[in-house]
């Protein structure tokens, strides 16, 4: 599924909360119920007193705030002016990001709904973060971390919790000759950029590319948080050339569970540094800033956009055969990323981007395929004239340049206090304020592109599309990328399956601006159940091709079975060891995060009396 398109799904399989093969015998030992560790809720006698909260507020310079839940404006009636204003604002990801009580995704059917914390530390620096972390540890509080708030899994919100809110930590500094701390004489100076944990990618691209004329590998969605994306591994439109966003991490400042501000890089705390590169956000500490490698910018970025409709099922199979043969011979390289969508109506939608090709070169690449389509006008039709071309790479994220060249691809934040350049792609509108029915992803190995396997690939995609649409994200599989990009990705915590995958298949579904209990805006659970079955059947067809393909942690099923293997593969035991070293008591909990198998689904108590990584007194 294109993250920029709202799709649909209801996950109807039970939550798998434990994956015991990855736990040592000692960690599996049951404890008597009285020994199970429980966190404190807001109504409990042990909840911190007003005096205690006041001391924390002083410690963070007054930046402890009670968290409001904007959706309460609609609890009485959806006809009120305040409720109508709210739902207009829910079209704006910058508005949502500015609310500590909201998340970009409002929930997931039968899984979670967005719930506000009780208080938030509106952190300005690492010291504020450390104060909040220590307060949560000392008072046995559920701790939540939010920067961009784009988690599909609901990991950046929880009721009865203390929120570390990094939104205001959005400073950006460019470096011409950066050397990580402790690495002098070991690492050569290089161009880099340091970003606060609250920075979002449009700010990074504006600084590094639009103004600076260089490139930093980040996310495709402009309002995703920088720190969160790095910790999940991170893909952008041009990852087929530059590789994983996490592979560009040179150094991180991170507050660990003991309240210490640590520097993690290849020379200091290297095990923590490795875990932060794809081990999942919110599991090892609170990242307060990151320094990323800055790369050379090509002269051109570009793309190809069109949809081909086949006249029959048989013709659609032939279309798929032709496309994947063409993909293998002409597109399976570092120049082409983003996606193709295989649709239930026997159409193939191409929404791909190019790296380093001018318009003439890009058109030359696609001409043989377009000629083949044009050769059978009674069988294949283009829904609109194809768009194939390029533009100066420096203008890719420049909304003003795009507007001046009649390319209105961005939507602007029109609030009175909005910053110039606060924009998002028009295609991202569907995920703003969405309520998911479900989400599935699967890496497809490049071996499926071989001539003797293409028939299986085409048959599986055709069968899958009979149930639901399938998106193939070519930039989220690194097969075909340059050797240095693959080598750098190999040195991250990501599932090694990404190295040999030509694409990440995504099938998903949801509803815009929905929330349970809000009259007129409730999720349609009848539709969700119906579509759940269709999505599950659709992905089942692809799993026949790659039963152990793995799944991307940030874009996956909330109810992912065997998630340790799916998300991290052979890297999970090492991640578990890093978790035990830096967070032995499990202060940092996220759904299906490293070490979460010993906790209840809500993270408030240890599951079935099992021990945290270290026994509590």
Of 166 and 79, more confident: 166
The answer to whether position 200 is within a domain reads yes
Mean pLDDT across 408-424: 93
603 occurs within a structural domain: yes
177 lies in the same domain as 157: no
Tell me how many domains the chain contains.
4
Domain end among 142, 165, 188: 165
Question: Which of 565, 549, 557 is closest to 591 using CA atoms?
Answer: 557
User: Would residue 510 count as lying in a domain?
Assistant: no
Q: In this predicted structure, what is the pLDDT of residue 17?
A: 28
CA distances from 588 to 117, 131, 164, 259, 566 (A): 15, 15, 12, 12, 21
Q: Pick the last residue of a domain from 266, 293, 320.
A: 293
pLDDT at position 448? 98
Number of H-type helices and E-type strands within the chain: 17, 21
SS3 (DSSP) at 523: coil
Give the tens place of pLDDT for each residue, 474-489: 999 999 999 999 999 9
- Are 160 and 42 contained in the same domain? yes
- pLDDT digits 0-9 by tens, 201-251: 999 999 999 999 999 999 999 999 999 999 999 999 999 999 999 999 999
Q: In the prediction, which pLDDT does 513 show?
A: 86
In sequence order, what are the residues at sequence separation of 6 or more whose Cβ sits closer than 8 angstroms to the Cβ of residue 33? 609
Same domain, yes or no, for 273 and 191?
yes
Q: In this structure, is residue 30 part of a structural domain? A: no
Rounded percentage of the chain residues whose pLDDT exceeds 90: 85
Tell whether 41 and 80 lie within a shared domain. yes
* Whether residue 556 has pLDDT greater than 60: yes
pLDDT in tens, 443-479: 999 999 999 999 999 999 999 999 999 999 999 999 9
What is the pLDDT, as a whole number, of residue 81?
Answer: 87
Are the beta carbons of 428 and 3 closer than 8 angstroms?
Answer: yes
Is it the case that residue 519 has pLDDT exceeding 50?
Answer: yes
Token pair recorded at residue 142: 């559920």
Q: Tokens in use for 430?
A: 């569907």
Asked if the structure places residue 454 within a domain, the reply is no
Residue 26: the pLDDT is: 29
SS3 track for 487-520: HHHHCCCCCHHHHHEEEEEEEEEEEECCCCCCCC
- Is residue 279 located within the same domain as residue 307? no
Across 192-198, average pLDDT: 98
Nearest Cα residue to 153 out of 555, 608, 597: 555
The residue behind tokens 């952190």 is 123
Q: Give yes or no: residues 260 and 361 share one domain.
A: no
**Residue-number span of the structural domain to which 88 is assigned:** 37-165
Please give the pLDDT value at position 27: 34
60 and 108 in a single domain? The answer is: yes
70-83: pLDDT as tens digits: 999 887 776 788 88
On whether residue 552 sits in a domain, the answer given is: no
| The token pair that represents 219 in the structure block | 């996310």
From 131, 165, 199, give the residue that closes a domain: 165
In the three-class reduction of DSSP (H, G, I as helix; E, B as strand; rest coil), residue 309 is classed as: strand
CATH of the domain at 335: 3.30.70.100
Secondary structure (3-state) at 449: helix
pTM beyond 0.85: the answer is yes
Which backbone phi and psi does 518 adopt, to 5 degrees?
A: -100, 105
Is residue 137 located within the same domain as residue 254?
no
Based on the fold, state whether residues 152 and 231 are members of the same structural domain. Answer: no
pLDDT > 70 in the chain, percent: 93
CATH number of the domain residue 56 falls in: 3.30.43.10
DSSP state of 615: -
**CA distances, 579 to each of 244, 282, 288 (Å):** 22, 11, 18
What rounded mean pLDDT belongs to the chain?
92
The one-character DSSP state at 330 is I
Please give the pLDDT value at position 254.
98
CATH number (domain holding residue 215): 3.30.465.10
Same domain, 76 and 152: yes
More confident site: 28 or 560: 560
pLDDT tier at 611, thresholds 50, 70, 90: low
Residue 209 belongs to some domain of the structure: yes
DSSP-assigned letter for residue 535: H
Asked whether 236 and 185 are in contact (CB, 8 A), the reply is no
Q: State pLDDT tens for residues 12-42.
A: 222 222 222 233 322 333 333 445 789 999 9
Does residue 59 fall inside a structural domain?
Answer: yes
Q: Are 354 and 336 in contact (CB under 8 A)?
A: yes
Statement to judge: residues 96 and 131 lie in one domain: yes
Cα 354 from Cα 304, distance rounded (Å): 8
- Based on the domain organization, do 231 and 313 belong to the same domain? no
């Amino acid at each position: 599924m294109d993250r920029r398109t709202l799709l649909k799904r209801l996950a109807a399989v039970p939550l798998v909360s434990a994956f015991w093969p990855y736990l040592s015998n000692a960690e599996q030992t049951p404890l008597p119920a009285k020994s199970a560790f429980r966190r404190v809720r807001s109504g409990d006698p042990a909840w911190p007193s007003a005096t205690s909260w006041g001391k924390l507020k002083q410690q963070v310079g007054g930046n402890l705030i009670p968290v409001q839940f904007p959706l309460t404006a609609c609890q009485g009636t959806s006809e009120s002016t305040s409720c109508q204003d709210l739902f207009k604002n829910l079209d704006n990801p910058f508005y949502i990001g500015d609310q500590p009580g909201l998340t970009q995704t409002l929930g997931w059917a039968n899984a979670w709904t967005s719930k506000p914390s009780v208080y938030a530390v509106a952190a300005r620096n690492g010291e504020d973060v450390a104060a909040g972390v220590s307060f949560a540890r000392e008072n046995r509080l559920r701790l939540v971390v939010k920067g961009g708030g784009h988690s599909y899994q609901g990991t950046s919100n929880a009721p009865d919790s203390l929120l570390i809110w990094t939104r205001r930590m959005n400073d950006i500094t460019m470096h011409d000759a950066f050397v990580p701390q402790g690495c002098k004489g070991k690492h050569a100076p290089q161009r880099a950029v340091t970003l606060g944990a609250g920075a979002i990618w449009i700010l990074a691209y504006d600084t590094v590319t639009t103004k600076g004329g260089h490139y930093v590998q980040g996310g495709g969605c402009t309002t995703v948080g920088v720190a969160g994306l790095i910790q999940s591994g991170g893909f952008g439109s041009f990852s087929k050339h530059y590789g994983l966003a996490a592979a560009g991490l040179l150094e991180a400042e991170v507050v660990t569970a003991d309240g210490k501000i640590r520097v993690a890089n290849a020379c200091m705390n290297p095990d923590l540094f490795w875990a932060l590169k794809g081990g999942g956000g919110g599991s090892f500490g609170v990242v307060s800033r990151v320094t990323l490698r800055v790369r050379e910018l090509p002269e051109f970025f570009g793309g190809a956009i069109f949809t081909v409709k086949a006249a029959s099922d048989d013709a659609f199979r032939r279309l798929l055969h032709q496309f994947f043969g063409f993909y293998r011979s002409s597109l399976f390289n570092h120049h082409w990323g983003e996606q193709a969508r295989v649709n239930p109506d026997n159409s193939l939608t191409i929404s791909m981007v190019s790296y380093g090709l001018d318009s003439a070169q890009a058109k030359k690449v696609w001409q043989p395929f377009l000629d083949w389509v044009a050769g059978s006008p009674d069988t294949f039709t283009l829904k609109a004239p194809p768009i194939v071309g390029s533009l100066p790479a420096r203008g890719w994220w420049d909304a003003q340049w795009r507007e001046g060249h009649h390319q209105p691809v961005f939507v602007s934040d029109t609030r009175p206090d909005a910053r110039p350049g606060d924009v998002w792609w028009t295609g991202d509108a569907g995920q703003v304020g969405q309520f998911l029915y479900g989400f599935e992803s699967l890496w497809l190995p490049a071996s499926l592109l071989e001539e003797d396997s293409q028939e299986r690939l085409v048959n599986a995609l055709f069968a899958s599309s009979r149930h639901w649409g399938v998106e193939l994200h070519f930039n989220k599989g690194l097969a075909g990328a340059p050797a240095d990009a693959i080598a750098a990705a190999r040195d991250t915590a990501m599932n090694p399956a990404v190295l040999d995958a030509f694409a990440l298949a995504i099938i998903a579904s949801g509803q815009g601006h929905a929330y349970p209990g809000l009259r007129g805006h409730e999720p349609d659970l009848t539709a969700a159940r119906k579509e759940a079955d269709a999505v599950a059947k659709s992905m089942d067809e692809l799993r026949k091709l790659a039963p152990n393909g793995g799944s991307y942690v940030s874009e996956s099923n909330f109810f992912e079975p065997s998630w340790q293997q799916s998300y991290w593969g052979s890297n999970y035991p090492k991640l578990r060891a890093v978790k035990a070293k830096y967070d032995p008591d499990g202060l940092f909990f996220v759904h299906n995060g490293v070490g979460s198998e010993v906790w209840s689904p809500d993270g408030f108590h240890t599951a079935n009396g099992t021990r945290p990584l270290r026994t509590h007194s």
